[in-house]
Amino acid sequence: QLLKEVKEKDKDTNAYITITEDLAMETAKRLDQKLKNKEDLGALFGVPVSIKDNIAVKDVKMTCASRMLEDFVPPYQASLVDKILAQDAVIIGKTNLDEFAMGSSTKNSYFGVTKNPLDPTRVAGGSSGGAGASVAMDSCLLAVGTDTGGSVRQPATFCGLPGMKPSYGSISRSGVASMANTFDQPGVVGKNVEDLALLLDIMQGADEKDATALGNDVFKKLEDIDLSKMKIAVADCHMDMEMDPDIKKAFEEVLAKLKDRGAQVDRVETKNLQYAIIVYHILVNGEIAPNMSRYDGLRFGHRAKDYSDINELFTKSRSEGFGDEVKRRIMIGTHILSLDLAKEYYDKALQVRHGIMDDYKKIFEDYDVVLSPTYPVKPYLIDQEMTPVEIYSADLCTVPVNIAGLPAVSVPYPLGDGLYMGLQLTSDHFKDNVCLSYGKALE
């Protein structure tokens, strides 16, 4: 019954690329048996969960929202999916995204844009727009997405929900299609901060299939934090950035309220944070280009019909299979990695990456969290045209968190017009419980 309703609703919203009817029914039967046999029940028993379509569920189509992988059915499964199923969750579908997670609106999806359930004339955000919408349209309670530069926190915000990207290394990336390996981390959108912590705790853990997965056992350690004991830093470049006036007003209102209640809220100077967007695009595109090289029509992906030699096979398959944004990033990435430019751009960007880490390190000597808006603009209209640079610039608050591998949670704050801004709380590496506890207090 739920599945029927979801299918009906989704005709309009387009949160899902695939609704996993067979898998859901199979799970339901298994859970039924478990109940009958009075077996132990998992922590997510019967909870409907959606999975972003760049995360592999065995024998279910995984498209990454690309024509390149339109018919790809993985014979393997992401480690995080194993863990979710082991806790008796019901996976109900694979959600829409910007092609290979590159974007902020799902407008880059080969399967069409996802509409925002709060206002269907607006985008649901991205790249995990389908994840955000799947929870906002009440088709599931929790959604798993991926966050390379804000792709979980921003769509959560656009859909009026909390979302979290944990510390890099918390959750295994095995079975998750790589965009930029040193930035990518699975994350969660849900109805409240405690639910996020529950699912993150289930998904975390070391994994021999991913050497960067160390595990992280702090998600259970949420605390009630007294507002008067809070130590909050606000970075200068986030205060001074261009913002929607309603968001600016709301954000200042929040800061004033926190101060009123006795919290320590200070504006801090940072040296490198302001360069986050440039650094992000140099380093991320440098990782994207080689990651995308496996999709050549021979090893993986769409294969062109007519070709006279192998070079033409590659060229044609890739021209047909990839959308504009993916091509743009492959070209930029290849360009900046070329021999004479790598020193000029890539090496310098790596240095600034460390500078950004140092900025945070210094802040965390005196403060528990960095607070900023998650995103400086409201969900925009679906037919609003924007240049790539306009879109990229809006990521100034989300991307530094991935550059430094830190955890960050975003909690929604109403703007009074039916839309929300996000309050983003970032804490120190592997202290995810700190930003989650703050987030719970601000919910």
Residues that bind ligand GLN (CB under 6 A): 101-104, 127, 147-151, 179, 395
Q: Is 127 a catalytic residue?
A: yes
Between strands 210-214 and 206-207, the pairing is antiparallel
Nearer to ligand GLN, 255 or 391 (CB): 391
User: Considering 127, 134, 317, 437, which one is annotated as catalytic?
Assistant: 127
In angstroms, what is the minimal distance from the CB of 103 to ligand GLN?
5
Question: Closest by alpha carbon to 66, among 432, 322, 316, 317?
Answer: 322
Nearer to ligand GLN, 65 or 441 (CB): 65
In angstroms, what is the minimal distance from the CB of 150 to ligand GLN?
5
Non-local CB neighbours of 22 within 8 Å, separated by 6+ positions = none
Q: CA torsion 345→347→349→350, rounded to 10°?
A: 160
User: Considering 52, 83, 165, 378, which one is annotated as catalytic?
Assistant: 52
Cα–Cα distances in angstroms (integers) from residue 116 to residues 331, 341, 379, 390, in the given order = 31, 41, 8, 21
Non-local CB neighbours of 200 within 8 Å, separated by 6+ positions = 164, 166, 170, 171, 188, 219, 432
Q: How many residues does the chain have?
A: 443
Give the helix/strand (H/E) hosting 230: none
In angstroms, what is the minimal distance from the CB of 104 to ligand GLN?
4
Q: Is 362 a catalytic residue?
A: no
In angstroms, what is the minimal distance from the CB of 54 to ligand GLN?
9
Q: Cα(157)–Cα(125) distance, rounded to whole angstroms?
A: 8
Q: Cα(167)–Cα(428) distance, rounded to whole angstroms?
A: 8
In angstroms, what is the minimal distance from the CB of 156 to ligand GLN?
12
Q: Is 257 a catalytic residue?
A: no
Closest residue to ligand GLN, based on beta-carbon distance: 151
User: Considering 66, 151, 178, 317, which one is annotated as catalytic?
Assistant: 151
Nearer to ligand GLN, 27 or 128 (CB): 128
Nearer to ligand GLN, 230 or 289 (CB): 289
Nearer to ligand GLN, 50 or 127 (CB): 127
- Other beta carbons within 10 angstroms of residue 40's beta carbon come to 7
Active site amino acids: 52, 127, 151
